[in-house]
Amino acid sequence: MSLIDNENIYTTPITTLGEFGLIDRLTKNFTPSNSKTVKAIGDDCAVIDRGDVFELLSTDMLVEGVHFDLAYVPLKHLGYKSIAVNVSDICAMNGKPTHVIISLAVSNRFSVEALEEFYLGVELACKKYNVDLAGGDTTSSTSGMVINVSVIGEVDKDKITYRNGANVNDLLVVTGDLGAAYFGLQVLQREKDIFKDNPKVQPDLSGHDYALSRQLKPEAPVKYLKILEELSIVPTSMIDISDGLSSEALHIAKSSKVSVCLHEEKIPIDYTIMNAGTEFKLNPISCALSGGEDYELLFTIDQKDYEKLKKDPDFTIVGYVSDPSEENSFIASDGSSHKLIAQGWDSTQD
């Protein structure tokens, strides 16, 4: 029932373009005109010149039923995570977060105390990451909960790290380990399904503490930036791993106009995830490549910096940057080479 037709006269489904194709298409006519704009669209953060430093700016929207399920995510954890995932975008530019602003839409099924739980998590994260809550907007929603966080940060001008600085022969490095957050999601989903069938069965989450904490209370990768600073390493390019290693590696490749090569046997995966993979019929490598929500960093370094970090267990070399004439590739543990794609790798091809 409409006086005007906003929806049906045009017909290209959003899904045909994918998230990044859609953004490219929607923003193609936008050209920055402000002299202080260093980078507008196309990296983890926008960059504004503030004289002595660069200001960083990013935003993330989290929608109930899409990004989180309140059947198993405690609101306090959700508040914490909303801040952490935004801080992660600041980290991806080698910056430090300073301020966040939060918009929240909730339906009247939420009580004041429920929102206080959410804000308790926000408060914990703000203290942990040393950011000020600088305002926001609280409004009604017709159905679920929608959270939007915008984050502001700063970075020294000679330390800023974009996606587009990777050079041929650079090494690809990841922090921490991968795949656990996605694995944690599967555990929670399984227990939800069991509960749905039989509400009397108590959830069995034992043995999955690490995966669950990575899913429910992820930390932004600030500690790794401190180590890099101590090691006097400025990455040539960097991105945070929110959508899975393969997707992020391809972003660096595309932005830097190079190719990337990942080695399966190098991908760091926690031993509990390796062991649990069988129980859940999940390939831990697939979780790492395309699971998402790890909030680790993927970065490239010049080979001359290799000696500085090779003994640090926080970092793992997972591959290298190759000539753009080569294909983005994935070398499996058996030595076979495959085309690297956003969803992992193309197993149909040698």
* Region 246-285 residues binding its own copies, contact defined as CB under 8 A: none
Buried b (16+ CB within 10 A) or exposed e, 6-24: eeeeeeeeeeeeeeeeeee
Q: Which range, of 70-78, 161-169, 228-236, 318-326, touches its own copies by CB under 8 A? A: 70-78
Output the smallest distance, CB 49 to its own copies, in A: 10
Output the smallest distance, CB 340 to its own copies, in A: 24
Q: Between 15 and 232, whose beta carbon lies closer to its own copies?
A: 15
Residues in the chain: 350
- For residue 230, give Cα distances in angstroms to 50, 111, 113, 181, 309: 25, 46, 43, 28, 10
CA nearest 289: which of 237, 341, 331, 223?
A: 341
With contact defined as beta carbons under 8 Å apart, do 45 and 86 qualify? no
The rounded Cα 70 to chain-centroid distance in angstroms is 20
Output the smallest distance, CB 21 to its own copies, in A: 9
Q: Which range, of 73-81, 164-172, 223-231, 232-240, touches its own copies by CB under 8 A? A: 73-81
With contact defined as beta carbons under 8 Å apart, do 290 and 244 qualify? yes
* Region 139-158 residues binding its own copies, contact defined as CB under 8 A: 139-144, 146, 148, 150, 152
H-helix segments, 231-279:
245-256, 271-276
Q: How many residues bind its own copies (CB under 8 A)?
A: 100
* Binding status of residue 16 toward its own copies by CB under 8 A: yes
* Region 45-64 residues binding its own copies, contact defined as CB under 8 A: 45-46, 48, 50-52, 55, 57-61, 63-64
Q: Which range, of 122-130, 223-231, 235-243, 266-274, touches its own copies by CB under 8 A? A: 122-130
176 contact partners, CB below 8 Å, separation of at least 6? 221, 224, 268, 294, 296, 314
- Indicate which single residue of 29, 206, 232, 325 sits in contact with its own copies (rule: CB under 8 A): 29
* Region 191-220 residues binding its own copies, contact defined as CB under 8 A: 191-192, 195-196, 199, 203
Q: Which range, of 15-23, 245-253, 259-267, 315-323, touches its own copies by CB under 8 A? A: 15-23
Q: Between 49 and 327, whose beta carbon lies closer to its own copies?
A: 49
Separation of alpha carbons 198 and 200, rounded Å: 5
* Binding status of residue 83 toward its own copies by CB under 8 A: no
Output the smallest distance, CB 328 to its own copies, in A: 24
CA nearest 151: which of 79, 113, 114, 99?
A: 99
Output the smallest distance, CB 150 to its own copies, in A: 4
Q: Between 196 and 281, whose beta carbon lies closer to its own copies?
A: 196
Output the smallest distance, CB 33 to its own copies, in A: 6
Q: Which range, of 65-73, 289-297, 311-319, 333-341, touches its own copies by CB under 8 A? A: 65-73
With contact defined as beta carbons under 8 Å apart, do 350 and 336 qualify? yes
The single-letter code of the amino acid at 192 is K
Q: Which two tokens stand for residue 103?
A: 């918009």
Separation of alpha carbons 218 and 240, rounded Å: 13
Residue span 94-113 as binding mask against its own copies, x where in contact by CB under 8 A, dash where not? ----xx-xxxxxx-xxxxxx
* Binding status of residue 70 toward its own copies by CB under 8 A: yes
- Indicate which single residue of 54, 72, 80, 183 sits in contact with its own copies (rule: CB under 8 A): 72
116 contact partners, CB below 8 Å, separation of at least 6? none
- Return the DSSP state at 133: E
Q: Between 9 and 311, whose beta carbon lies closer to its own copies?
A: 9
